[in-house]
Chains A and B, each alone.
Chain A
Amino acid sequence: MTPPAAYPAPGGAGAPAPRRRRRRPNWAALALGAYVVAFLGFIVAPIAAVVMVSFSTASFITFPIPGLTLRWYWRIIEYRPFVDAMIVSIEVALASTLIAAALGVPAALALARARGAASALLSNFLLAPITVPAIVLGLALLYFLASLSLGLSFTALLIAHTVAGIPYVVRTVLAVYRALPPDLEEASAVLGATRWQTFRHTTLPLIRPGIFAGGLFSVLTSLDNLPLSFFFGSASTSTLPVVMLSYMENQFDPSIAAVSTVQMLIAVVALVVTDRLYGIEKLTAA
Chain B
Amino acid sequence: MSVDVEQAPAALAALPARRPGGPYRLARSTWTVPVLVFLGFFFVIPLGANIWRSLATGDALTQGAFVFYGKLLGDAYYAGILYETFKVGVIATALSLVLGYPVAYFMVRHAGRWNGVIVFLLIAPLLTSIIMRTFGWRVLLARRGPVTMLLHDWGLIARPTNLADDPVAVYVALVHVLVPFMVLSISAVLQQVDVRLEESSRVLGAGPLATFFRITLPLSLDGVATGCILVFVVTNGSFLTMLLLGGGKVTTLSLLIYQQFNVAQDTGFAAAMGNLLLFVALACLALQARFLRRQGIRP
Taking Cβ atoms with an 8 Å cutoff, the residues of A that contact B are 10-11, 28-29, 32-33, 35-36, 39-40, 42-50, 53, 61-64, 102-104, 106-107, 109-111, 113-115, 122, 125-126, 128-129, 131-137, 139-141, 143-145, 147, 159-160, 162-163, 166, 170, 182, 185-186, 189, 195, 198-199, 203, 220, 223-224, 226-227, 230-231, 240-241, 244-245, 248, 256-257, 260-261, 263-264, 267-268, 271
Evaluate contact between B278 and A49: CB separation under 8 angstroms.
Answer: no
User: Contacts A63-B139, A134-B237, A227-B239 given: A103-B129 contact, CB under 8 Å?
Assistant: no
B136 in the interface (beta carbon within 8 A): yes
User: Contacts A129-B43, A140-B50, A248-B135 given: A113-B27 contact, CB under 8 Å?
Assistant: yes
**Residues of B with C-beta under 8 A to A245:** 131, 240
B93 in the interface (beta carbon within 8 A): no
Taking Cβ atoms with an 8 Å cutoff, the residues of B that contact A are 22-32, 34-36, 38-39, 42-43, 45-47, 49-50, 53, 99, 102-103, 105-107, 110-111, 118, 121-122, 124-133, 135-140, 142, 144-146, 173, 176, 179-180, 196, 208, 233, 236-240, 244, 254, 257-258, 261, 267, 270-271, 274-275, 277-278, 281-282, 285
**Residues of B with C-beta under 8 A to A230:** 258
Evaluate contact between B267 and A186: CB separation under 8 angstroms.
Answer: no
**Residues of B with C-beta under 8 A to A257:** 132, 135, 139
User: Contacts A144-B46, A226-B240 given: A264-B127 contact, CB under 8 Å?
Assistant: yes
**Residues of B with C-beta under 8 A to A261:** 132
User: Contacts A33-B106, A36-B102 given: A163-B261 contact, CB under 8 Å?
Assistant: no
User: Contacts A61-B139, A107-B35, A143-B267 given: A260-B26 contact, CB under 8 Å?
Assistant: no
Evaluate contact between A45 and B131: CB separation under 8 angstroms.
Answer: no
For A132, give its contact among B107, B125, B131, B278 (CB under 8 Å). B278
Evaluate contact between A50 and B49: CB separation under 8 angstroms.
Answer: no
A-B contact pairs, 26 of them (CB 8 A): A10-B196, A35-B103, A35-B106, A46-B137, A47-B124, A50-B133, A63-B144, A110-B25, A110-B32, A129-B39, A131-B281, A135-B239, A135-B277, A139-B50, A139-B261, A140-B50, A144-B49, A159-B42, A163-B39, A166-B39, A195-B26, A224-B129, A244-B129, A248-B135, A260-B132, A268-B127
Tell me the complex Cα distance, A135–B138, Å: 24
> What's the least CB distance linking B249 to chain A, in Å?
17
User: Contacts A32-B102, A50-B135, A131-B281 given: A109-B31 contact, CB under 8 Å?
Assistant: yes
User: Contacts A131-B282, A140-B46, A185-B26 given: A49-B129 contact, CB under 8 Å?
Assistant: no
Evaluate contact between B176 and A43: CB separation under 8 angstroms.
Answer: yes
For B136, give its contact among A46, A128, A263 (CB under 8 Å). A46
Evaluate contact between A61 and B138: CB separation under 8 angstroms.
Answer: yes
Evaluate contact between A44 and B121: CB separation under 8 angstroms.
Answer: yes
User: Contacts A32-B105, A63-B140, A136-B274 given: A47-B261 contact, CB under 8 Å?
Assistant: no
Evaluate contact between B131 and A241: CB separation under 8 angstroms.
Answer: yes
Evaluate contact between A107 and B31: CB separation under 8 angstroms.
Answer: yes
Tell me the complex Cα distance, A29–B233, Å: 33
User: Contacts A143-B53, A166-B35 given: A53-B139 contact, CB under 8 Å?
Assistant: yes
Evaluate contact between B285 and A131: CB separation under 8 angstroms.
Answer: yes
Nearest B residue (CB) for A99: B38
Tell me the complex Cα distance, A102–B31, Å: 11
Tell me the complex Cα distance, A248–B132, Å: 11
Evaluate contact between A107 and B50: CB separation under 8 angstroms.
Answer: no
Evaluate contact between B277 and A133: CB separation under 8 angstroms.
Answer: yes
Tell me the complex Cα distance, A49–B154, Å: 21
User: Contacts A113-B23, A140-B47, A256-B131 given: A106-B140 contact, CB under 8 Å?
Assistant: no
Which among A107, A170, A263 has the highest number of chain B CB atoms within 10 Å? A107
User: Contacts A128-B43, A139-B257 given: A248-B28 contact, CB under 8 Å?
Assistant: no
